[in-house]
Amino acid sequence: MTDAAPFRAQEKDDELLDAYSRAVVGVVDRVSPAVVNVYISRKAPRPIYGQEEMQGGGSGFIFTPDGFILTNSHVVHEASKIDVTLYDGRQFPARIIGDDPDTDLAVIKIDAQDLSFAELGDSGALRVGQLVIAIGNPFGFNCTVTSGVVSALGRSLRTGSGRLIDDVIQTDAALNPGNSGGPLVNSRGEIIGVNSAVVLPAQGICFAIPSSIAKFVAAALIHDGRIRRSWIGISGQNVALKPEIVKSKGLPASQGVLAVAVERYSPAERAGLAPGDVIVGMDEHPIKSIDDLHKLLTEEYINKKARLTVLRRFDKLSLDIVPAEMPPR
């Protein structure tokens, strides 16, 4: 007699594989028509062989029926010209609606009819191990699909502007140059992230900005053209504090932010902050690093009085400060 167990196991594996395939195919059919190829021209920092402009590109996706497109800031930042190619081959010029390098997100717009679009889902419902699909245009190959799983949640990613983004999604769905700005999609066809970065030379470590951040940023960029943040006007660096100072001053942490320079006429100068001061707190929040300070300097603090806790040599001071709105870059 022939043992039927291996055949039953093979049939079960085939069923699982087929279910996986159906999930990926369904997502691709649903979302791909909203994915676009973004081509840009920008001024070359140093003209090469007489060429004053350089070309580049990436991916994006239409998220409203009237032609608003989400992509990465680093794809379109300082672009002098943007062209968008749709899934059906149509090509349109695009304009930048808003660009936020601090979250590596940008919104551009095309004026076109009969557009397919995909809605942003809930990244807060993601679980580690969940199936995700990335769609983009790596190396110019339109609508290339890769799949994988959510490798980790709550990661941090430093953008080109130097700011840290929290709650980033880590995935092993393969990303390559040109995937930037494309959607990361769950098995229900909901966009739960915007593909952003690859760790090189590692394999299988890729990051996406979660849809929870993308929704907020996209709405603000469409409404205001920018993300409003507060600003105090210092150049700083992280420093370690001596244990005896931490103990004698009753500080909550052993690190702070050294004010290397204070801009003239800035909120910091008006508050009396001086180069050499070390910021260790803002209101009731301890400040251990520049990232801590960045996280606090949101729109809510614009023109709102706050209290800085500062070390000046061996003295602990409290300074009242009123952060202003961050000036445009």
Residues 6+ apart with CB under 8 A from 243: 254
- Rounded to an integer, the average pLDDT of 200-204 is 68
The reply to whether domains 123-224 and 230-325 share a CATH topology is no
Residue 75's SS3 state is helix
Say which of 104, 123, 147, 266 is annotated catalytic. 104
Q: Which of 206, 175, 215 is nearest to 59 (CA)?
A: 175
Percent with pLDDT over 90 in the chain: 69
Neighbours of 167 (CB within 10 A): 15
Write out pLDDT tens, residues 52-86: 778 888 999 999 999 999 999 999 998 999 999 99
CATH superfamily of 230-325: PDZ domain (2.30.42.10)
List, as one string, the DSSP characters of 300-316: GGTT--EEEEEEETTEE
Phi, psi of 271 (to 5 degrees): -80, -10
Q: Are 211 and 170 in contact (CB under 8 A)?
A: no
Start-to-end CA distance of the chain, whole Å, equals 78
Residue ranges per domain, the chain? 123-224, 230-325
Instruction: Kindly write down the DSSP assignment for every residue of 207-275, as one continuous string.
Output: EEEEHHHHHHHHHHHHHHSS---EE--EEEEEEE--HHHHHHHT-S-SEEEEEEEE-TTSHHHHHT--T
180 labelled catalytic? yes
The mean pLDDT of 269-285, rounded to a whole number, is 95
> Residues 97-149: pLDDT tens digits?
999 999 999 999 999 999 999 989 999 999 999 999 999 987 777 788 999 99
Q: Which residue is catalytic, options 32, 59, 73, 74? A: 74
Phi, then psi, of 102 in degrees rounded to 5: -70, -20
Q: How far apart are CA 306 and CA 283, in angstroms?
A: 6
- The one catalytic residue in 32, 123, 151, 180 is 180
Query: Is residue 301 very low, low, confident or very high in pLDDT (cuts 50, 70, 90)?
Result: very high
Query: What pTM value is reported for the model?
Result: 0.83
**Mean per-residue pLDDT, 246-266:** 92
Q: What is the mean pLDDT of the chain?
A: 89
The confidence score (pLDDT) of residue 44 equals: 77
pLDDT at 49: 64
Verify whether residue 104 is a known catalytic residue. Answer: yes
Q: Which of 192, 186, 131, 148 is nearest to 167 (CA)?
A: 192
14 sits in which H/E element? helix 5-31
- Identify the pLDDT of residue 1: 47
Which of residues 48 and 297 earns the better pLDDT score? 297
Q: Residue 238: which residues within 8 A CB-CB, separation 6 or more?
A: 255, 256, 257, 258, 288, 289, 290
pLDDT surpasses 60 at 285: yes
Lowest mean pLDDT segment, chosen from 35-39, 125-129, 164-168: 164-168
Q: Do you find a cis peptide bond into 201, omega within 30 degrees of 0?
A: yes
Domain 123-224 has CATH 3.90.1150.10: no
Q: Environment class of residue 193 by beta-carbon count within 10 Å: exposed (0-12), middle (13-18) or buried (19+)? A: buried
